[in-house]
Amino acid sequence: MIITKSDFLKYKECSSYFWFTKLNPNVLSEEKLDPFIERLKLQGTEVELFARGLFSDGVLVNGKLERAALNTAECINLGCKEIFQASFLVDGLFASCDVFVWNGLFQGWDIIEIKSSTDKERKSKEHILDAAFQRLVVEKAGLKVVNVYLIELNKDYFRDGDIDIDALFNQTEITTECIEIEQQLIVELQDAKKLLTQPEPTECSCKYKGRSRHCLVFDHLYPNVPSYSIYDLRAIGSSKRVLRQLVDTGSFYINNIADDIELNTNHTKQQWVNSTNEIIIEKDVIKQQFDQLQYPLYFLDYETLACGIPKYDETYPYQQTVFQYSLHILNSDGSIVHKEFIHRDQSTPVHIVAQRLREDIGDVGHVIVWNKGFEGKCNADLANVNQDLSDFLLDLNKRIYDLMEIFRRMEYLHDDFKGSYSIKNVLPVMCPELSYDKLEVTNGAEAVVEYENLIFGSIPEDIKDNKFNALLEYCKLDTWAMVRIYQELGKLVSA
């Protein structure tokens, strides 16, 4: 039973998940096809392929498991000094190194791990563990490892013309960090091997984690947990002590939480609306906010494309580059005007978007968004490359009112929100006549994938207009949804 690096990372995530993956994978929940996650995987592959350009003499090892290990040994025997996907199988452990480089000075090998993360992010424990696993397996195979490096994207890289590979990536040595966890790693690998000789697990550690961190075997092991449960209490995964109490007392239903468990304010509100089927609405608080808004109200939503390898000039790795917006303008007399824009070619959209925003948004009136952190950062990035419009763009951030905050702060709370403040959860409750379901593009992840295919893929020209219109309709509903939610809240607080 071979344990790969991916297997071991599953073990670290949840040992029961690891067991079922290796010995009874049929019970695992089917992974939902998430276009966002699939796109992230493709981004990782693209980053690795670009990073290989740093090693002009690199030779790629083909094959899987035993064949890959044999091909690697052959490369080494032939005197290859730079090897991509160098693979080693020893003692039931298998590892592949993104880049394996001969260090002539110290007569050994350097392991270089390529990650699609940026160097400004805190070094992930998983990255260190990943590299340490490789180092351990390589040394078990009888080869000397000199140094271990991590190659990541340079967050300060600003594209100007063709990609400058040397400037795009930064390299960090992590040898010491790998050595520090080696003994722990050896023990954990022994435990992982031993676990595979044990009977089928009956529980997993994910029961003490929030829903987003549940593994694919959770539903099999805990079939009695309801679809809306304690795991949907707002940010319950961060309240580890309370979650443990809830699980240990068997309080999976929100309306059946034991009286002696001390919930925070948000959890108490969720429990109350779930138990009473009542709605929480802090009319005075919401009305006070609305009374301070200045007309016209500009309901604004962006769609953005973020790429590890920047596709546009004047952008940096993973910049949320605005390629589209929808704008509903609500005037004081109740009249509504809609404006929109979508960029339709491969040129950088950072200037035309800013110019169109300047044309469509006046100097007076609040800008209504759903999640001001996102739109605000987009505005700041646009201001950075549009000096002539920077005052206008930064002023937009001073005028932003975040409609989402009413639901995040639970000033309005309905049980059917299921603990979420996503507009996709709020809209069906407050405005059931509106729905994303009938649209060709139904969510932001689909919009990004669709747009990237339109601009950089091979979509036939004769269907492009229909595809662009589908994107416009999706974004339009985002801002119309905000208008309608605002209107419904206005009726409620004025009643």
In the prediction, which pLDDT does 419 show? 92
Specify if 208 maps to a domain: no
What is the distance between the alpha carbons of residues 7 and 137, in angstroms, rounded to a whole number?
A: 14
Range of the domain at 328: 286-494
Count the domains in the chain.
3
What is the distance between the alpha carbons of residues 47 and 353, in angstroms, rounded to a whole number?
A: 27
In the prediction, which pLDDT does 78 show? 96
Looking at the fold, whether 260 and 290 belong to one and the same domain comes out as no
Specify if 212 maps to a domain: no
In the prediction, which pLDDT does 495 show? 77
Looking at the fold, whether 253 and 185 belong to one and the same domain comes out as no
Residues of the chain with pLDDT under 50: none
In the prediction, which pLDDT does 30 show? 85
In the prediction, which pLDDT does 122 show? 62
413-421: long-range contacts (C-beta < 8 A, 24 or more apart)?
413/269, 413/270, 413/273, 413/279, 413/280, 413/281, 414/273, 414/279, 415/270, 415/273, 415/274, 415/277, 418/228, 418/232, 419/228, 419/232, 419/233, 419/234, 419/270, 420/232
Looking at the fold, whether 447 and 352 belong to one and the same domain comes out as yes
Task: Determine the 3-state secondary structure of 295 from DSSP.
Answer: coil
The answer to whether the predicted template modeling score (pTM) of the entire model surpasses 0.85 is yes
In the prediction, which pLDDT does 259 show? 87
CA dihedral over 158, 160, 164, 167, signed as positive or negative: negative
Looking at the fold, whether 261 and 293 belong to one and the same domain comes out as no
Q: Which residue's structure tokens are 């694919």?
A: 216
Looking at the fold, whether 237 and 302 belong to one and the same domain comes out as no
* Pair 378, 322: CB distance under 8 Å: yes
CA dihedral 277, 282, 287, 288 (to 10 degrees): -170
Looking at the fold, whether 371 and 348 belong to one and the same domain comes out as yes
What is the distance between the alpha carbons of residues 206 and 162, in angstroms, rounded to a whole number?
A: 45
* Pair 48, 23: CB distance under 8 Å: no
CATH code of residue 180 = 3.90.320.10
Looking at the fold, whether 55 and 144 belong to one and the same domain comes out as yes
Q: Which residue type, as a one-letter code, is found at position 41?
A: K
